[in-house]
């Protein structure tokens, strides 16, 4: 059986000190910058962060250090003060030189107000006038010309452009005239070009065409007479043949009548049958 109080409790106990653990050392390589590090990138051509993916062997790429030999500050020995650039007296509050070529501004007499009376000057007191201001005002109002009412409405009859053709209409008319002139010149040019393609038919050619048309007319007329001698035209084919012969005879007679003129001009640009 153990008791809470004992003489053995007075004996000092040995102090136990746990063993000191080893110094912590990261498993990651210390040469690689941390993920998304912004350290030492100010003077390089890299973006604002480095090693975004957290690779152990990040690729350097084509980026280069613009200041490869720079350090964190100026080299040792360059911060010594210069004995010739000490603070001199009067350099803290510089004074500006007096401006040259400036004149004092003065008001003209017409802009100046009358001077204030001095303290020893007393104004004239007790002046009395015999003028009756009531009667004078009444007479002035009676003799004054009546005021005309102010007309705030615009009188368009007094405009500078009143009665004149507006500029936009003149512009439109000029554009229409220019367009008409251009179209007319194109038509004249086409007519001249068309006239160059026309020639006068010789008399031999005209007589040759008339003879050929008359020969053609005789052939068609003979065929037409054979149809008309039939006592009864009772088929559609005979009716169409008769109508075709009549149309051909009418056209041949019309062509022969045209070619009977003294002067025949041929248009090479038109259809072959067009002549006049």
Q: Do residues 272 and 215 both lie within one domain?
A: yes
267 neighbors 191 (Cβ within 8 angstroms): no
> Are 192 and 204 members of one domain?
no
- Identify the residue whose tokens are 């993916």: 53
Taking the model in full, what pTM does it have?
A: 0.30
Q: H/E element holding 175?
A: helix 167-196
Backbone torsion region of residue 123, taken as left when φ is above 0, otherwise alpha when ψ lies between -120 and 50, otherwise beta: beta
**Predicted local distance difference test score (pLDDT) of residue 172:** 95
Q: pLDDT tens across 211-262, in order?
A: 999 899 998 888 888 887 776 777 888 888 888 888 999 999 998 888 888 8
Contact 236, 244 (CB under 8 A): no
| pLDDT attached to residue 269 | 67
What are the tens digits of pLDDT across the range 97-132?
A: 888 878 888 888 888 888 888 888 887 777 788 889
Which of 15-29, 87-101, 202-216 is least confident? Answer: 87-101
Q: Flag whether 47 is in a domain.
A: no
Q: How confident is the model at residue 61 (pLDDT cuts 50, 70, 90)?
A: very low
Residues 263, 213 share a domain = yes
In a domain, 137, yes or no: no
Q: Are residues 230 and 183 in the same domain?
A: no
Show the domain range for 270. Answer: 199-276
Q: Is the pLDDT of residue 62 over 50?
A: no
Residue 267 maps to a domain: yes
β partners of residue 94: none
Cα distances (Å, whole numbers) of residue 111 to 103, 108, 115: 19, 5, 12
Angle 202-203-205 (CA atoms, 0-180°, nearest 5)? 70
- Clarify whether residues 192 and 239 are in a common domain: no
Same domain, 271 and 221: yes
Same domain, yes or no: 264 and 203: yes
Given a cut of 50, whether residue 276 has pLDDT beyond it is: no
């Amino acid at each position: 059986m153990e008791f809470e109080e004992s003489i053995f409790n007075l004996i000092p106990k040995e102090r136990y000190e746990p063993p000191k653990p080893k110094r912590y050392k990261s498993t990651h390589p210390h040469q690689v910058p941390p993920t998304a590090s912004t350290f030492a990138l100010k003077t390089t051509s890299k973006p604002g962060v480095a090693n975004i993916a957290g690779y152990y062997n990040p690729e350097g790429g084509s980026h280069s250090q613009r200041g490869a030999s720079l350090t964190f500050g100026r080299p040792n020995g360059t911060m010594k003060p210069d004995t010739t650039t000490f603070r001199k007296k009067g350099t803290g509050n510089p004074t500006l030189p007096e401006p040259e070529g400036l004149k004092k501004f003065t008001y003209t007499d017409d802009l100046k107000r009358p001077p204030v009376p001095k303290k020893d000057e007393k104004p004239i007191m007790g002046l009395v006038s015999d003028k009756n201001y009531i009667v004078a005002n009444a007479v002035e109002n009676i003799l004054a010309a009546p005021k005309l009412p102010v007309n705030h409405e615009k009188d368009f009859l007094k405009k500078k452009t009143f009665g004149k053709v507006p500029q936009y209409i003149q512009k439109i008319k000029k554009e229409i005239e220019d367009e008409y002139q251009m179209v007319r010149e194109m038509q004249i040019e086409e007519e001249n070009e068309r006239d160059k393609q026309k020639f006068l038919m010789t008399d031999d050619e005209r007589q040759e065409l008339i003879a050929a048309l008359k020969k053609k007319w005789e052939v068609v007329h003979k065929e037409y007479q054979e149809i008309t001698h039939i006592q009864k035209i009772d088929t559609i084919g005979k009716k169409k043949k008769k109508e075709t012969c009549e149309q051909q005879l009418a056209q041949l007679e019309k062509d022969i009548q045209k070619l009977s003129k003294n002067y025949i001009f041929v248009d090479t640009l038109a259809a072959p049958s067009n002549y006049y």
